[in-house]
Structure 1
């Protein structure tokens, strides 16, 4: 009977394990990336190196298995090597460093000679080579490294060993052999410093053999790897070693290209091998090299080659400036002028090169452009003005060149004081050549578009003369438009130069004409000046000026000034009833706009006063309905609920059929609610409910009704209202889900758990069918609902104890375990962080508790001691997978901390891991020091 019981229990437990292995992972757990967790260090008792070495020597004197002897010998050798290094550094006392290194070398050799099959031979070679270097036996060290790379090409030390071999061979001028060693180190790949250093030295070894193309491949590969360092080459963030490596690499790269045709060689190489973001460094380095060799033309050509290749590169302007400076400082004026011209043409404001430049590059280049444009314009201007005979057409060519560069300068720097003088010279030249239309443009620009300068007034008056000269040359059909432009030019002159003796009569220009041209600000100023003038205006003239002033103020959004003007116009137009109608409408609009501006500033109460003033000042204004509606809205915004209800009720009575009435009802309800009049608000909602409204309005009213019931404490009526809302408005989904959530809370408050759970299940079911209609909020509500439904399943699982008869209670426990896991899987499936962490924690606890239940279950009665021991072992074997699953689930929860999720459930998972797996999560492992570099 006992044996039968054991067999039956084994069968049940194995069934649980098999089922466990078949269960799918929760969808939000298995997809998370693995990440190591930080573990706090556990302090250990400190021991001196001498004491440890003494212990190892004592251990080696005792009989021991070969494996232990080997490990003790290796550790003793490592300790002697480390102590020797500390002795060299002055950090240790005792035996000399040479004695320690010699002893370590002997031990490494002993280990290597004893057994060819021992693991870690490559490390022994590596350590021996280090010791030999430290003791000064360089030849022996290289021989040891030769054996390392020959016997262990897969070793972690292979790359460094090959690099060290290459260095040794390079110093002995065996460049071919050094090349092979460096190439092997490079081929090992990786991100170690040896990879990059090997690339650099590989290039040098090839350079020494005059294999320039291959050397360039190595140097370019290194520059590619250190592209970020190249970007920061001019900054102070680089270490001296990094800066020196990059500068040396660029220098030797330049040396290679001097053998490949200079800048042309760079062009050809990178056309075949692809562009690089750091390419400007190579051109600059080559140019600098040529200048040091006093090859000025070649150096400047190197700079300019990159500019021509990549004119919009951030460094292109500085390289072109270097070329110009090189020409100027070394006595090449013709080439300097040509380079300036090339720069000015290349970086024209409308050119692709300028458009492609970064903002910072434009700022840096601008002062140089300003100077060079002046230099070019002055140069050709001086040539055009020189006396004596010149070749036919040459003077016109120089004149045209001067005009071109003046225009280029003016288009580039239109607002500078010096530009005024340049613009005046340009206008004078065009006037003398009979180009009066162009002269008008340039004279006006000179007079009005620059800060005040000595030529401004003369240029403004000269523009009027040019208008007259050009008018006589135009056909009759064009003269009116040209004359209108001349009149405006005269007005500009009067405004700019009021004290000029030639300004007489300028104000005769009509303010009305300026208004028609759309110059509202200027028109208002001229109208005001005309009204303020000493000559005075008749009534008709005053009406015109006041009309211009009022209309211009309105267009400029100065509505208070416009209101003043319209009131003045009403006084001046007392006998003109027809004209007054239009003015009254404009007056109403000006008052309304004052309210609108205050509304936009957030001054709702003041805005309401203006809106409501429209009806008092202009009762028959067409804008009155809108003004009163906006006035009521402003009163609501200002919190003046009582006043707002009066205005809104008045609107309903005066305009019962108005299209705004529906919205007025809604605002009226709000006002009543805020004013503490819920019954009146309810009456308004009742009217809205029976009116033939749009669906959206009905939806809002239905929701507001339900909320009012809820706030009033009428839970049952609120339940009915929310059910009606869900039935009538299942879409959009999110508010309908909120309504279901409200029903859950209401039934919770009404102590009706069955109905509460029904709506919890509804939240889950509706969201699972929602598809694209779901939202983050609806998924959150569904996740919370699923979690609330899962908690009772977990509680029921915890309460089931494994008692005799074990087969029956185990079956119940397993069934409830499956129900709980399924419930938490469902909750986690909605991908809500706070729900997922709790669900994951519960899943882990389910596995852990199930395993613990097995271990603490009631034992079958009547077992012998041997049978009981076997039974205990069987229980531990079957409980182990559940503990592993618990650890796995807790680890998945803990990894969420790396994603910024660290709530109470993640913290609890960390706590459980510390108990379930203390070896990993409750202490810091101690590791051996790994030497990554030989010194």
Structure 2
């Protein structure tokens, strides 16, 4: 780095080296060196001053100079010699050629002729111009080291000849003398006077330059004026952008020095803030950005890199739209690189990249800056990618993800602005995936695979597939999917896109097998079947892929109830599992396949049975046994084979199969159903006794045998096996609990009634029938009728017992027995009426009346005690008549009630018998020849 640290990007032609420097020196009338930079600000000096002479006449400068030199050497006249020397200097100055005396010779000559100048002035006579004479004398004094005298002559020139064309230069020399003497305010005033007087532009420019230095030298309080002066100078020298790019070579040092001083002053004040203040009060000049550049360069040269960057940032903040903004941002990167601060270098690069992230902003950058943007972006992307890996290795997962995310952002920024678009998007996808930004990762992988012309596009495409598969495997939700089915559809679409772009290979075949399984698990059997078939359609799927595909096909066909196709697929899978050792299918899995194969065969049996093809169904069921012998399904198949025969009404074959099944699997739960099916088969095949025997055999093995035994009794009843039936009825009624339901009540009463009808007339059965019906809350017409019959039967028996009891001595005892028998008969008869109602009312009335009539007759015919005398006997009989009369009246009353039933009930046998009894008991009233006719009232015909 050169001491000046010139920012060549901003001002490529504004350099310190002055091209053609020697030629410029040849044009000077004389040169004054004001010294180099000092140790302090006060010691600083301008770089240089130059002056040019007036135009030459149109003659040969060398020839004229030779003649004036000859004249000077040959003449003894002071005026002639001085005039010749003056003309000689003018020719040299105007021609710009190195003619006349050498500089060493010139100093000797001026020292020699100095006396001549004084002599001429003292005489007050000179044929030439005195203003030129004073100028030459000033020069002579200067060349001989008499600076005070030189300035004195220049002051005389200004005072005596204020309109002379030499006055501006004299004023300049005077001001320079003040500057050299350290009288900077006087020097400033002198330069200002020269500028105000309207000196020629070149001299005015130099005066303004030196005026600025004079103000600078006066100290910090005058730096504001100095800044204004130098900026006015820059406005003159660099009025346009074109002039900045191609400045005049004669003003390069002056312009560069002006920038240097302005930068120096700003650096000692508030840096960029100072520049902003200086520039705020004036219209914006095209060169103003160079001022920021020089200030930043100054800090950088002196090792203050942070301040240099701050100045650049100040410019960027203040002038966000300036075309030099990217240069300043790039320079920040270079400053931090010089400072050896990698973190700040990275931040500066990030700032530059971020500023031109927008497509429009990026397109407006020059090509070299676009390239720089791409370089910075790639550097940052690679850095953050590597940082993520380091963080991950150190166990800092959160920081690792953050770094990978930033790396991805930079790769994505670069993606659309680089010829390596595909590679960058692939890297961006990797970084996003590591950062767990799966949606962006998927997008990047797809761009790299299908939109970038990338030489490793297939790997990027496969990365997208791997991403989608991993999400599904983890049970998560794929990018852009609302549920697992949609995520699986996305993966399937990705497989199709990949296969169309890159063809099918081993990985794709494995993926298709995996997709087949996944679609099956999701319940989309059509897609599952399609992917399984595509797996098998490839030229060379390996055994693992074929195995997976056949399994899916088998399951799908089984689900679709295409069990024949399912059986084929299961057999293919089983063959691979048993023969391909590399598959290493566990024994349990092989058993599962066999079971599924057996299910497929079994389902074919079910389908054949449903279609009515019993023979085929039985054949399928029996095949199951050979696939999974001893299994539950094999046992069920044997059982279903028997059921199929039953449904087909193949009774004998079904009976044989059922008996064989029970013999082979007596302890199996299904064996419990065999008995029932055998009972049905026996009944349907005309073997009811075998059915009943099967029921009784089954009952013997049951904790509660009676349901089966009662069913056997029912079969005996239907088969007219009355004795066997009655035996079971009696056993059951002897242990049967009180009926808990109407059905149980009817069942038990039916059994008693059947026993009675079959000859069981014992009082116990009859009484049980009556008692149970009387106590029960459930009745039916039949049970009530049966109970009424039983009650009548018992009443008749009781009446017979009543009639058989004779009233003998002692009468009190026999009468008690007879009354008890009467009450029993009465109760049974009333119960019969309660059960049967109007159906038995006439019979009941008759039988009750007869009980009283018999009692009255028996009372009248009862034995008279032997110890009674005749009177006592008569009195005793009278007493009996008094006792019998009410009883007889009661009998007649009941018979009369029965007689009256004719009006509501009609005439029947028992009404007729009551009339006969009444005729015998009351012949005057009832002993008539009557004929009972049925009366049917007809409608009145209107008569």
TM-score range, shorter chain: 0.3 to 0.5
Structure number, greater radius of gyration = 2
Structure 2 length-normalised TM: 0.39
Structure 1 length-normalised TM: 0.40
